[in-house]
Structure 1
Amino acid sequence: MKWFVKCIRNYVNFSGRARRKEYWFFVLFTFIFSIVASLLDRLIFGPTGILLSGLFGLFILLPQLAVMVRRLHDTNRSGKWVLWYYLASIIWVVILLAWGMKYFAAALQGAAGLPVGLSIFAIVGGLALVGFGITLFVWSLLPGTQGENRYGADPKAEEEARN
């Protein structure tokens, strides 16, 4: 729990490094709190309730981004990879929605089916984003750079020196 609180306190700290332990404990507690928020939504607001889980998602967004950037820094990678992933995801969704709405409107007027281009864009873009996400996941599993790197001192070595 102390790692989760540490990440919440560092919610806009995109510099420095985060150990695997810090990152994965944060992910674990975020997952647990998300489930609790979803269950409370269902109990309070019914099966379509999303108020508490939505608010929790907004609350946790910046700390989640910050700890992921710091985790990449620990592996001596730029945090810009997270930016590129989210930017690519947003662009893909916007293009898909805009393109899909055009053909949905045409279908309401009697036009037939989705064009092949839209389907190919959806599949290829989706697979590319999945591959990008898997890459970020694998990087988050890798051990941090031993010793100091361009993003700062080794947090694991600092903690071991204190103990």
Structure 2
Amino acid sequence: MNQSENQIIKSYKEFWTRFVDVKGRSHRPDYWHPFWINMVISTILGVLSGGILSSIFGLAIMIPSFTVMVRRLHDTNRSMLFAIISYVSGIIVMVAMFIFFFGAILAANDSSGAALSILFILGVLGFIAAIAISIYVIYLLVLPGDQAPNNYGSGGSNQTLPEESVQHEVQI
């Protein structure tokens, strides 16, 4: 097995073994490998079961996905608040769609259309805010980690080799 296959397996194993651990830091591969693996698994389960197993799998990975996002944000010296805001933005999108849907029903009964315009504007603004938040959090997740130890520990994704290993490599 080559190094990249080892990294994929290690990252996915760590995704599940540290499923409630929000302390410390996670490398970029520790976040992105489980992300794409879970996307593939969810897609396959969705195709095979019409979405039922995919939904159950989505609930099963909700907490580990949140905690690995927190650790990844810690690697860039950001707090858990950004992960919470990211999850809340998803709720904002659902609420905005809910408001717009029921606003359309209310507007059908309202001849003036005032209810529709207000709910439409609220729905669009909520959707735009949630998308902007999501894009910013994705940007933070893509950033390289701090080289030096930060507020959340050492061992970041951009960490340089310790001096002992550099001296050892030079001697060989």
Q: With structure 2 as the length reference, what TM-score do the two structures score?
A: 0.77
Larger Rg: 2
Aligned to 1:36: 44
Q: Aligned partners of 1:140, 1:95: CA distance in 2, in Å?
A: 25
Aligned to 2:56: 55
The answer for unaligned runs of 5 or more in structure 2 is 1-8, 166-172
What one-letter code is carried by the residue in structure 2 that aligns with 1:137?
I
Tell me, yes or no, if structure 1 residue 12 matches structure 2 residue 13: no
Aligned to 1:46: none
- The 3 A distance-change label for structure 1 pair 117 and 110 is closer
Is the 1:75–1:143 contact (alpha carbons within 8 Å) kept by the matching residues of 2?
Answer: yes
- The 3 A distance-change label for structure 1 pair 117 and 98 is closer
Higher mean C-alpha displacement, 79-88 vs 5-14: 79-88
Deviation at 1:87, TM superposition (A): 2.4
What one-letter code is carried by the residue in structure 2 that aligns with 1:20?
R
Tell me, yes or no, if structure 1 residue 123 matches structure 2 residue 131: no
- The 3 A distance-change label for structure 1 pair 156 and 141 is closer
The answer for unaligned runs of 5 or more in structure 1 is 42-48
Deviation at 1:95, TM superposition (A): 5.9
Deviation at 1:93, TM superposition (A): 3.2
What one-letter code is carried by the residue in structure 1 that aligns with 2:25?
R
- The 3 A distance-change label for structure 1 pair 37 and 98 is same
Deviation at 1:39, TM superposition (A): 2.0
Q: Aligned partners of 1:24, 1:99: CA distance in 2, in Å?
A: 33
What one-letter code is carried by the residue in structure 2 that aligns with 1:142?
L
The CA RMSD measured in Å over matched residues stands at 2.7
Q: Aligned partners of 2:102, 2:145: CA distance in 1, in Å?
A: 44
1:23-64 residue CA offsets vs partner (Å, 9 max, x unmatched)? 1111111111111111221xxxxxxx2221011101111111
Q: With structure 1 as the length reference, what TM-score do the two structures score?
A: 0.81
1:124-156 residue CA offsets vs partner (Å, 9 max, x unmatched)? 221111111010111111100112100011244
Is the 2:28–2:142 contact (alpha carbons within 8 Å) kept by the matching residues of 1?
Answer: yes
What one-letter code is carried by the residue in structure 2 that aligns with 1:18?
S
Aligned to 2:134: 133
- The 3 A distance-change label for structure 1 pair 64 and 123 is same
Is the 1:19–1:144 contact (alpha carbons within 8 Å) kept by the matching residues of 2?
Answer: yes
Aligned to 2:155: 154
- The 3 A distance-change label for structure 1 pair 156 and 97 is closer
1:25 to 33, 36, 39: 33
